[in-house]
Amino acid sequence: MLKIGVLGLQGAVREHVESIKACGAEAVVIKKKEELEQVDGLILPGGESTTMRKLIDQYGFMALLKKFAKQGKPMFGTCAGLILLAKEIVGYKEPHLGLLNVKVERNSFGRQRDSFEAALNIKGMDQPFTGVFIRAPHIVEAGEGVEVLCEHNGRIVAAREGQFLGCSFHPELTDDHRFMQLFIDMVKEAKKEKIV
């Protein structure tokens, strides 16, 4: 059975765990560095990106997260997780992990009280997906090799580059597990390639 990790330092961890289980995979909440080795793919959940970065540094996760990526294992960032994955952040000199070739802007849909839901047309899905946006970032620019999966009102809100997947919204806050399934399929594919 596939093991999908959820970085459990801060943010919407439980909801991701439920969504992973609904897709028939095993969910592992990652709180210790050595647990990273047990999983086939990793989710960086929504939360507060600055706080998450402080905790990543405090618990010595940064080098291991980069190593995890170098091993070709898929990573999925939702909302704050997208900010952590991005190569560039508007108004910041340095990225966090700098893995996904996109430039993001934080809180670009407004504050907490401006949270909203929207029907999104996501590439490869035949029915609209309900996107839950909470203090969401958006992708200002998608670099070379990045496939844009979804736009909302002219802003890029989901993208994929190889083993990396990122979205502005919170797919785990709905009962629709298609976006999680997309990530799990990426993990299956990556695992298959390793065996071959």
Alpha-carbon separation of residue 159 from 28, 39, 179, 184, 192 (angstroms): 24, 23, 12, 15, 22
At 140 the pLDDT is: 95
Report residue 51's pLDDT band, with 50, 70 and 90 as the boundaries.
confident
In this predicted structure, the answer to whether residue 104 has a pLDDT above a threshold of 70 is: yes
Query: Closest Cα partner for 165 from 7, 30, 9, 41?
Result: 41
Catalytic residues: 79, 170, 172
What is the per-residue pLDDT across 67-98, written as a single tens digit (0 to 9) for each?
Answer: 999 999 999 999 889 999 999 999 999 999 99
Do the Cβ atoms of 18 and 172 come closer than 8 Å?
yes
In this predicted structure, the answer to whether residue 110 has a pLDDT above a threshold of 70 is: no
Domain boundaries, the chain: 3-195
Mean pLDDT across the chain, nearest whole number? 92
At 109 the pLDDT is: 58
| CATH of region 3-195 | 3.40.50.880
